[in-house]
């Protein structure tokens, strides 16, 4: 397949391209699905892919992925060749290319994932691309999540500015996937509350329960659970900004005094001796992405240690496909370099391996992938509507484009189901709180041994 090429309405040969531009064009020609239109700085238009083809099948217009890129600076081509998909993103950050919809561009590349020469581990990986990518990988290796690095990694993102996050999050200040499963038309706030209630329901939360939240964020779940269920709540974080915000929010709720506490502490420093009977319930909402492969075992071992014998633990986590986990683990992407240093998306197989070293057993799983795509698109709309205020907070245009790319990049990945998010509930065998009441009644009913009769073997 070759790209069609136009300049002022006339067809031209692909041979008119030279240098890095020719390399990039040759690589894009390998991607067969959907349609990408690329405009060069001199006005030439190149079209890649087959418009109506997805996985070898013809689709009506509107059912395939179509995207366009307008290159403003030829430096774009060299950055893509030198640094692959990270160079592609950084070129956007620096204003070297633009598009009417970043998410559609990302979706087009994801649609062609198995043939994508810009990514590691694909069938068409090119030795010409990402020649200097080892530099990004080396930087990422230095951000592994020991206790000191974890604080730095979390602070890099979550301590940017509480005022910034208030611009695009809803009133609950919840920075994790909402839950639109029951009603796609819910407001963002109501969908976040739906997520909170789903977790409380899965935890079988009741008044008087002790609950530990690992990674309490700005305290949104804490406010909901304590207010509605009157539980005894403990939240831990390593973000000073989030801790201060959560504590201040609860100062406005004197009726909840004595029912909550927040601690600035790493989860690894929590000890059973702090609460000898253990916590009745443990929840962790999209914190595991900051744990890292080398600490998954320790993370679940700590949950096992802190959870009461008949307790329940609910973990909301972003996941990647099992068959791509090792590739993702061994490489570095835009999110890890520019948004969440030290982060890694687990796969369910790796999580199962970690929990197999504990007494924890998986009890329930719910997928919320589509809900996260909608959450991210909503965040982006709210962010874009507040650009003037973003500037007033001191963030420049490079930052704006970086976040535009970040939100779009993630939204497309969830929408195309290349990654997902799940709520997983864990307990231990013989937890009678999980038995249906009819079974308990049967097991506990008085037995008339005289009526059993003679047992014939």
Assess whether pLDDT exceeds 90 at residue 369: yes
Q: Which has more confidence, 73 or 155?
A: 73
| Residue 449 DSSP class | G
Poorest-pLDDT segment among 44-53, 94-103, 120-129, 149-158: 120-129
Is the CB of residue 94 less than 8 Å from the CB of residue 398?
Answer: yes
Find tokens 């990674």 and name the residue. 215
Is the CB of residue 297 less than 8 Å from the CB of residue 357?
Answer: yes
Assess whether pLDDT exceeds 90 at residue 117: no
Assess whether pLDDT exceeds 80 at residue 152: no
Percent residues over pLDDT 90 in the chain: 72
Distances (CA, A) of 116 to 25, 123, 333, 383: 13, 7, 15, 30
Which contiguous run of DSSP H or E holds residue 83?
helix 75-93
Poorest-pLDDT segment among 105-114, 275-284, 341-350, 446-455: 446-455
Rg value, the chain, Cα: 25
Task: For residue 94, give the nearest of 80, 104, 105 by alpha carbon.
Answer: 80
| Cβ neighbours of 112 (radius 10 Å) | 24
DSSP string, 237-287: ES-HHHHHHHHHHHHT-GGGTTSEEEEE--GGG--GGGSTT-EEEEEEES-
Q: Which two tokens stand for residue 54?
A: 């997805």
Task: Write down the domain spans for the chain.
Answer: 4-131, 147-437
Find tokens 């067969």 and name the residue. 32
Q: Any idea which residues carry the catalytic annotation?
A: 410
pTM: predicted TM-score of the whole model, two decimal places: 0.89
| Cβ neighbours of 228 (radius 10 Å) | 14
Confidence grade of residue 159 (pLDDT, cut at 50, 70, 90): confident
| Cβ neighbours of 450 (radius 10 Å) | 6
> Which CATH number applies to 147-437?
3.40.50.150
Q: What is the mean pLDDT of the chain?
A: 88
Confidence grade of residue 148 (pLDDT, cut at 50, 70, 90): low
pLDDT of residue 134: 52
């Amino acid at each position: 397949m070759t790209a069609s090429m136009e300049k002022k309405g006339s067809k031209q040969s692909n041979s008119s391209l030279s240098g890095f531009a020719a390399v990039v064009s040759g690589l894009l020609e390998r991607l067969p699905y959907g349609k990408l239109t690329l405009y060069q700085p001199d006005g030439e238009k190149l079209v890649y892919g087959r418009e109506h083809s997805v996985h070898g099948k013809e689709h009506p217009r509107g059912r395939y992925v179509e995207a366009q890129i307008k290159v403003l600076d030829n430096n774009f081509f060299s950055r893509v060749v030198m640094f692959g998909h990270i160079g592609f993103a950084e070129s956007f950050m620096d204003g070297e290319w633009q598009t009417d919809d970043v998410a559609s561009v990302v979706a087009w590349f994801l649609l062609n994932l198995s043939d994508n020469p810009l990514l590691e581990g694909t069938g068409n990986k090119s030795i010409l691309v990402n020649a200097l990518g080892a530099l990004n990988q080396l930087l990422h290796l230095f951000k592994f999540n020991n206790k000191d690095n974890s604080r730095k990694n979390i602070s890099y993102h979550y301590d940017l500015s509480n005022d910034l996050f208030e611009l695009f999050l809803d009133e609950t200040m919840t920075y994790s996937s909402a839950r639109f499963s029951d009603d796609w038309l819910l407001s963002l706030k109501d969908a976040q509350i739906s997520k909170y209630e789903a977790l409380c329901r899965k935890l079988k939360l009741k008044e008087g329960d002790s609950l530990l939240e690992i990674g309490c964020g700005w305290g949104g779940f804490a406010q909901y659970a304590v207010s509605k269920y009157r539980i005894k709540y403990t939240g831990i974080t390593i973000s000073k900004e989030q801790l201060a915000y959560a504590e201040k929010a609860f100062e406005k709720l004197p009726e909840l005094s004595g029912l909550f506490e927040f601690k600035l502490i790493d989860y690894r420093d929590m000890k059973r001796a702090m609460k000898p009977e253990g916590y009745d319930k443990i929840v962790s909402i999209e914190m595991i992405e900051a744990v890292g492969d080398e600490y998954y075992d320790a993370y679940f071992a700590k949950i096992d240690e802190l959870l009461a014998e008949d307790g329940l633990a609910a973990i909301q986590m972003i996941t990647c496909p099992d068959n791509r986990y090792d590739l993702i683990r061994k490489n570095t992407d835009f999110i890890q370099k520019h948004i969440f240093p030290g982060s890694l998306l687990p796969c369910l197989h790796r999580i199962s391996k970690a929990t197999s070293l504990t007494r924890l057993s998986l009890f329930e799983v719910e997928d919320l992938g589509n809900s996260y795509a909608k959450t991210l698109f909503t965040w982006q709309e709210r962010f874009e509507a507040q650009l003037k205020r973003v500037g007033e907070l001191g963030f420049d245009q490079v930052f704006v484009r970086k976040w535009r790319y970040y939100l779009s990049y993630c939204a497309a990945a969830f929408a195309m189901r290349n990654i997902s998010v799940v709520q997983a509930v864990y307990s231990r065998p013989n937890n009678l709180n999980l038995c249906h009441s009819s079974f308990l009644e049967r097991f506990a009913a008085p037995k008339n041994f005289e009526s059993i009769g003679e047992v014939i073997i």
